[in-house]
Amino acid sequence: MPEILKDTIGPQKQFHEFLAEGKFKIQRSNVTGEFFFHPRIAFPGTGDRDLEWVEVSGNGIVHSTSCNRRLPEKGGDFNLSIIELDEGPKLMSKVVGIEPDKVEVGDKVKARIVELKGEPNIIFDLIKD
């Protein structure tokens, strides 16, 4: 293991620890000021390691969505959506509180931290106008 990582927690583990504390944080480059997601040790494309964790608003819009069909005994239908956060990055999650086939591109959403299969995760609620 490289010396720089030997005594540190990996970025994915840090992300999940923040979620466990009730904080939705993503990384930002101190050089460019750009946010990015998935957690990693270097800024995508540049390799820059001058990064910081910043708590984000959790606000975003549905960039794309898909309704996945399942038998009711297997949990029923669900959606998978790409959410573009107000801070810029996109992430995959699901929008809840609405029928899976009613989620639409452009819908405004708000992140919420929930426990799924024993782990903290981000899901999104539809923001009603």
Total domain count, the chain = 2
State yes or no: pLDDT of 1 exceeds 70: no
The domain boundary, picked from 21, 40, 55, lies at 55
Mean pLDDT of the chain: 90
pLDDT digits (tens, 9 = 90+) for 90-121: 999 999 999 999 999 999 999 999 998 899 99
Report pLDDT for 3. Answer: 46
pLDDT digits (tens, 9 = 90+) for 51-87: 999 999 999 999 999 999 988 898 888 899 999 999 9
Considering the entire predicted model, what is its pTM? 0.85
49 with 80, same domain: the answer is: no
Q: Contacts from 7-10 at CB under 8 Å and sequence distance 24+?
A: 10/39, 10/41
42 with 63, same domain: the answer is: no
Of all residues in the chain, what percent carry a pLDDT higher than 70? Answer: 93
Domain that includes residue 115, residue range: 59-126
Report pLDDT for 5. Answer: 46
pLDDT digits (tens, 9 = 90+) for 22-39: 999 999 999 999 999 999
